[in-house]
Structure 1
Amino acid sequence: MFQPDLFAVPAPQEPVTPAPARSMDLPAVLERLSTLCERPRYSFMVLNLIAQASAQTGSAGPFVREGNRRVPVRDWLCEALMPVAQRDPRRRAIAGKVRAELEARRALPADPVEAEAVIESQVRKRVRQSGRTNVSRAVSELVRAGLVRRHYEGYRVDHQNRGAQRQAVYTVTEEARRALRQG
C-alpha cells in the first residue's frame, strides 16, 4: 500500500495552444530590445541609423557615403551618435584628463582657442574609439535579437568573420524594416 498524498495524480490539463504569432510592429521591436539588450534605447538608436543608411538596399556598409567621402559604417554610426554623449559626465572627465596630460607634456598651445581645439580633437578621438566598441556591442545585441544580420566584406573575399582588412556590413531584417516603416 502507498500513501496517496505523496503520489498525487495531477488533474488532466487542457492542451496548451501557443499564442498566435504577433506580427512585428514598433512596440514589438521595443519589447524585444528591452528584454534582450543591456541598453535598449541605445540599441534602438543604432537600429534606426542602420535602417536609415540601408534605406535603398537593405544593407549598410561596408562604407557609407557622407558628402564626397566614404566612411566605414561603424565610424559613421559612431559619429552620428556622438551628439548624444555631449553632456555625458564621462566626456567631461575625458576632457579633464586630456587637458592634464597635455599640460604635463607641455603640449598645450598658449592660445586658449587653439588649446580648446586640440583638447576637443583628442576627446573626439577617444570618444570615437569607445563609441566604435559601443556600436559593435549594440549591433551584437541587435543580431541576437534577430533584427540585424552582420557579415564582413573587404580584402580577398566576403566572410562571416572579421579581420584581414574586412569591414562590417549590417543588414536590417525585413520584418524589422517593415516595423520601422510602420512606426
Structure 2
Amino acid sequence: MFHASVPSRMVGGSDISLLLDQLAHCCSRPRYAFMLLTLIADVARPDGSAGPLVRVEDGLVPLRDWLCDALTPMGQRDPRRLALIERVREELRANGQILGDTEADAKLVHDEVQVRVRASGKTNLSRAASELVKAGLLKRHYQGYRVDHLNRGAQRQAVYTLTGRARALVSSRPGPPRTNAPARQGDLFAS
C-alpha cells in the first residue's frame, strides 16, 4: 500500500547501472549510446581503445563503418527505413537499373540502401560519440596517414577509447589458467 519513493538519481549500484544512469542524463539517445559503447567494448583492446581498423573475417574495415553496419539491423522495421527501401526501388526502376530478375533486383536495392544507411549512420554515430566525449565516457582521436591528430582528414581513421564508467564494459581477457594447488614456501604466484 505504501511505496518508498524512488530517488531520481541512483545513490549506489553496479558499474553498469551507474553507467546507464549517466547515459540517461547526458545523451539524447541513451539506448543508442549504450549500444555504441557496448560494440566498441566488444572490439576494444585491454586498454579500452578500438580502431582504427576492425578485423572482419579475412579483411580489415574502418571502425566507423563496422559500427554503422553493426547498428544497421536495429532499424529494420523503422517506417523511415521501409520508406527508404521503397524510394530506392522506385529510383532504380525509373533509371532502368532493375532488370526484372527478383533476386538480382533485391541485391541491387539492398546494396544501395546499405550505402545510404551507412552514410546517415555515420552522422548518428558522430553525434552520439560527441555526446559521449562531453560526458567523459569516450575519448576520440584519428590515426593513420602521416600523423595522429585530434581532427579527421588526410586519410586518418577514428580511434575510440572507453573512459570513466564505460571502462566497465571492457571484458577482461582470460589469463593463464590458475591451479588450485596450495602455495608452498618459496613459490612465487602472480595474484
TM-score (norm 2): 0.79
User: In the alignment, what sits opposite 1:91?
Assistant: 81
Coordinate RMSD, CA, aligned: 2.0
Gaps of 5+ in 2: 1-10, 173-191
- Name whichever of 50-59 and 152-161 sits farther off: 50-59
User: In the alignment, what sits opposite 1:16?
Assistant: none
User: In the alignment, what sits opposite 2:134?
Assistant: 144
User: In the alignment, what sits opposite 1:124?
Assistant: 114
CA distance in 2, matches of 1:137, 1:47: 13
CA contact (8 A) 1:25 1:180 kept: no
More contact order relative to length (CA 8 Å, sep ≥ 6) = 1
1:81 is displaced (CA, Å) by 0.8
1:43 aligns with 2:33: yes
* Alpha-carbon displacement from aligned partner over 1:67-92 (angstroms, at most 9, x marks no partner): 11111000010111111111111111
Query: Cα gap change, 1:31/1:50 in structure 2, threshold over 3 Å: closer, same or farther?
Result: same
Gaps of 5+ in 1: 1-20
CA contact (8 A) 2:46 2:170 kept: no
Query: 2:93 aligned to 88, 97, 103, which one?
Result: 103
* Alpha-carbon displacement from aligned partner over 1:89-141 (angstroms, at most 9, x marks no partner): 11111111111111111111111221111111111111111111111111111
> Secondary structure of the equivalent of 1:77?
helix
CA distance in 2, matches of 1:22, 1:179: 18
TM-score (norm 1): 0.82
- Give the number of equivalent residue pairs: 162
1:60 is displaced (CA, Å) by 0.5
User: In the alignment, what sits opposite 2:157?
Assistant: 167
